Every structure is written in structure tokens, then in C-alpha cells.
Chains A and B, each alone.
Chain A
Amino acid sequence: MTVPFPQATPGVWTAAAMIAAVVLCSTTGEVLTAAAMKSLGDLDEIRARSGLKGAIRAVLTCPLFFAGVSFLALAFFSLLFALNHLNLSLVAPASASLTLVTNAVAGKFLLKENVDRRRWAAAVFVCVGVYLLAH
């Protein structure tokens, strides 16, 4: 059995900075990745036309995809770092909830998605729901 190492709890501002880093990197990465996938078109159709290799090649030759993945990798290591200092029950719901809201804003203003009342309501409901689920 693995015995967890004792962890010193960081202060509120340090914890907030760790979560903010995860949220910012994650939002930037997701917006860039979504823009990359929209620029490529339906992957299922590409796969039907050019096979799995063709679909993988289409993704791997898109510069926006690499920019997105770089930010998602930064978000991943920020998450690992945060999990090393904070509890999962704080980091996972806090970063997931905040990322939903920042992505809804970024989706509307950067990706020009149609974020109607239904989607705003969904973002808020899921955000509060994730918070309640973790407590």
C-alpha cells in the first residue's frame, strides 16, 4: 500500500494563483484547439475520405493545433503542480467550474459561437453543480 507523504497546506492566495494558472492555460489551449479543429472540418468525414492516417496527418500539420496543445500541456503541468500541494476535491471542481465560465466567454467573443441563453444557463448550472458535487 502506498502511504501519501504529509503535505503542508499553502495559503489562500497561493492556492488561488495555482488554480488561476490551470484555468488560464486551459482556456487558452481549449480555444486554440477548438479553432484548429473547426478550421480542419469534420474529422469523421476526413477519416472516411483519407483514412485514419489522413485524419491524423490533417491534425498534426495544423499549426493552431500545436499552439493549443502547448497551452494544454502547460495546463496539465500546472494541474500536476496544484495537485501536489492541494486536494483534488478543491482543484478539480474549482478549475473545472471556472474553466466552463471562461470558455463560455471565450467561445462567444473569440470563436464567435452562438452562446445563447440556453448555453449561458448550462454553463452556470454545471458550474454550481460541480461545486456542490465536490462538497
Chain B
Amino acid sequence: MRRHSLTPRQYLILAIVAVCAPLGDTCLSRGMTAVPQISLAQPGALIAAVFTPWIATGIALLIAFFASYLTALSWADLTFVLPATAFGNVIVALLSRFWLHEHISLARWAGILLITLGVGFVAQGPSLTERPAQPAEAEKVGVQ
């Protein structure tokens, strides 16, 4: 049953997943709009773009995201982890409102509410699908 509720450390890992993904995407966007348009005939230009500062920062953030994401997937379902990652969009929107003092429209507040509700739904349920124990595993549990 321990697997079905998360520890504070596991919540921290989900928070890193949520924050690093949107920040990384924003850095990638900033970097890719600053380079000339790339066509499919120039794959080398796409690789070269990886070494520009904004793209490199974006990649560093996405590596942190990926390491935390893999860890989360080892103890939780994909359909539990993914909605949790979307909460990062809410964090970015709230930061832009209260830190950068940007205007947030009614539609965006509705979006924030819906994402929060969605994440709340999955967070209340079990994090991992219960499966029948394998014979070897059941034996081990029986010994303990």
C-alpha cells in the first residue's frame, strides 16, 4: 500500500518535473525564434542551433526534467505523472502575474482553475495501478 501514497521526496520530484519542463520549453522557443528559418533540407543547421545559449539552457533544464520524470515513472503510472507535469503551466502563469505583474485574462484564470482541478483529481487517487503479485514476489512477501 506504501506505493499508492507519495512521500514528501516524491512530491518534490514531481515539482521539479512540473517547473523544469515549461521553463525549458520557453528557453527553446526564445532560442529558436532568434535563428533563421530552418528547412528539412538543412538538418545540420538544426543540430548547430543546439549549441546556442538559449537552446543550451533549455536543454539543461529539460535534462533535469527528464531525470526527475524517469524517477517518477518508476513509482507512478504515466497517467498519474503527466497531468501533474501540466501544473507547471499554472506555476509559470502565477509567476508572470505576481512577479512580472502581467495581466491574466478571465480565460487564463479559468485554465488555471481547470488544470488545478485536474491535478487535484489524479492526486487524490492511487499513484500506481495495483497488479497481481508475481509468484516469486508473492513468495518473498510471504517469507517476510
Contact B121 A119 (CB under 8 A): yes
- Chain B interface helix/strand/loop/mixed: helix
Please give the distance in Å from A62's CB to the nearest CB on chain B: 11
The 8 A CB mask of B110-140 against A (1 = contact, 0 = none) is 1111111111011011100110000000000
Contact B80 A119 (CB under 8 A): yes
Please give the distance in Å from B27's CB to the nearest CB on chain A: 11
Q: When the two chains form the complex, which single residue of B25, B74, B112, B122 contacts A119, counting CB atoms closer than 8 Å?
A: B122
Please give the distance in Å from A19's CB to the nearest CB on chain B: 14
Contact B71 A126 (CB under 8 A): no
Question: Is B102's beta carbon under 8 Å from chain A?
Answer: no
Inter-chain contacts of A81 with B (CB < 8 A): 38, 40, 46
Please give the distance in Å from A75's CB to the nearest CB on chain B: 11
Residue from B49, B90, B115 having most chain A Cβ neighbours under 10 A? B115
Question: Is A79's beta carbon under 8 Å from chain B?
Answer: yes
Please give the distance in Å from A10's CB to the nearest CB on chain B: 10
